[in-house]
Structure 1
């Protein structure tokens, strides 16, 4: 009787072991499933993408009429004897994005030969774009491109470039000499940026029939004067759009002027590659 009691205890103890193993196994499976479910839940949640900051709005949404961007008085002073006082507008698919105008003339009233002059002005405007950047940033890239282009003008001699204060937000004046039509020409190109608009103005001249070539100083002075007026015209155009028209029908006349300017631009030549007509030298 005393020997059978311990034996019974050992049997009961062994019988309890599988029960504990089963409980442990269930607990392990349960923990594993919980971890899987937790992992599945976290991986299924999409991560939020950071929002890109909006680009700065463009300052100007239109361009001035290029043929009135330089005053008639300045045209008369810089291009005496101009063939067309109102200028020749360049072709453009959209005058609010790109426009240009040019003037040329031969002043043969002098006793010591004739003086030839050419002036052209071009505007390029850039809109702000989320993928391309702000209008000002895009215009800055174009400004740099135009300065480089002017400095690399084919056949140019004694090229010099200097920053120019007082014309837009940034400006550069490029000067050089060029020989064509058997005459020596003095050139000055002013590239300026105001907001999201780039203004490129070129002024050049030569003496014919024994007349002297104009000085680089006088050509630079004329080019910078005209460039200031062209840059100011950009802001004036923007101001005119937000200023209420005066009474008396000025609003209608303004609209008519815009239509006439658009028609003139469609008929004009391509100012990107202006071709000067060789003036006839005055007989001595």
Structure 2
């Protein structure tokens, strides 16, 4: 008589216990998920912390020399004898990272013709940046691209290119001819890198009004001599006074982004040719 009642009691007890077990299981699952989330959060923050601690080597050179003073009076007298002592400084919104200067010379011999010379020096300094790399790396990339540009000037004839030694960390000489209505202009371009500074020296000459064209070999030798002198001026500017060979602490740490020298090989040739 009492067995059905006892069986019913056991069923009700079991039904009451089951939800409790489900709730307990649910709590256990939430706790595990919370621990996993903390672990994931910790793993994700690690790369950011590492990136924040990244230190980039400071650029070797903190400043540039005055562009119109990188060449001596003697050198200017040899390359552009009729230019006078003063050069024409290019405009720059930041003389600490870029600058240029140019000189032109016309030796007019009347009915015997004239000899024309044009000389330009451009300087571009790169600073180190954590997101882009060291100043030296940025300068090396720009140097390679600029050499390619010098070799690809429109309408250039007899293009010759070769590496040169003793002029900064690396340097390349590019020369070619451009024929214009005034005569044949012979262009010499020296692109050199000294640590985090890229220097471009453009030198061209022509015989006008019937005068003979200058020797490409002579122009090339003069251009290379001037380029070496300009690189030495960059080094000297960073060794003077308290500057030393390392950058000053007050120098801006933002890189020279998308910067271009005031005159490129193609522009310089077009300007005076």
TM-score range normalised by the length of the shorter chain:
0.7 to 0.9
- Equivalence for 1:42: 36
Contact 1:85 1:103 in 2 (8 A): no
Tell me, in whole angstroms, the C-alpha distance in 2 between the residues paired with 1:117 and 1:81: 9
- Equivalence for 1:265: none
- Equivalence for 1:197: 197
Tell me, in whole angstroms, the C-alpha distance in 2 between the residues paired with 1:143 and 1:213: 30
Match for residue 31 of structure 1 among 25, 32, 45 = 25
Q: Tell me the TM-score normalised to structure 1 length.
A: 0.74
Q: How has the CA–CA distance of structure 1 residues 137 and 48 changed in structure 2, closer, same or farther, with 3 Å as cutoff?
A: same
Q: Tell me the TM-score normalised to structure 2 length.
A: 0.77
Tell me, in whole angstroms, the C-alpha distance in 2 between the residues paired with 1:135 and 1:125: 8
Q: What secondary structure, in the 3-state scheme, does the structure 2 residue paired with 1:240 have?
A: coil
Contact 1:191 1:198 in 2 (8 A): yes
- Equivalence for 2:105: 105
- Equivalence for 2:139: 139
RMSD between aligned residues: 3.0
Contact 1:91 1:271 in 2 (8 A): no
Q: How has the CA–CA distance of structure 1 residues 27 and 111 changed in structure 2, closer, same or farther, with 3 Å as cutoff?
A: same
Q: How has the CA–CA distance of structure 1 residues 20 and 180 changed in structure 2, closer, same or farther, with 3 Å as cutoff?
A: same
- Equivalence for 2:257: none
Tell me, in whole angstroms, the C-alpha distance in 2 between the residues paired with 1:27 and 1:229: 87
- Equivalence for 1:214: 214
Bigger shift: residues 223-232 or 181-190: 181-190
Q: Give matches, 1:168-247, under 5 Å.
A: 168-242=168-242
Contact 2:182 2:209 in 1 (8 A): no
1:115 to 2:137 alignment: no
Q: How has the CA–CA distance of structure 1 residues 208 and 10 changed in structure 2, closer, same or farther, with 3 Å as cutoff?
A: closer
Q: Gaps (5+ residues) in structure 1?
A: 1-6, 245-269, 279-284
1:72 to 2:73 alignment: yes
Tell me, in whole angstroms, the C-alpha distance in 2 between the residues paired with 1:225 and 1:234: 15
Q: Gaps (5+ residues) in structure 2?
A: 245-261
Q: 1:125-145 CA distances to partner (integer Å, 9 max, x unpaired)? A: 122223333222222232123
Instruction: Kindly state the Cα deviation for residue 206 of structure 1 after the two structures are TM-superposed.
Output: 1.5
Instruction: Kindly state the Cα deviation for residue 219 of structure 1 after the two structures are TM-superposed.
Output: 1.1
Equivalences, count? 245
- Equivalence for 1:250: none
Tell me, in whole angstroms, the C-alpha distance in 2 between the residues paired with 1:243 and 1:127: 16
Instruction: Choose 1 or 2 for highest CA Rg.
Output: 1
Tell me, in whole angstroms, the C-alpha distance in 2 between the residues paired with 1:70 and 1:144: 24
Bigger shift: residues 64-73 or 123-132: 123-132
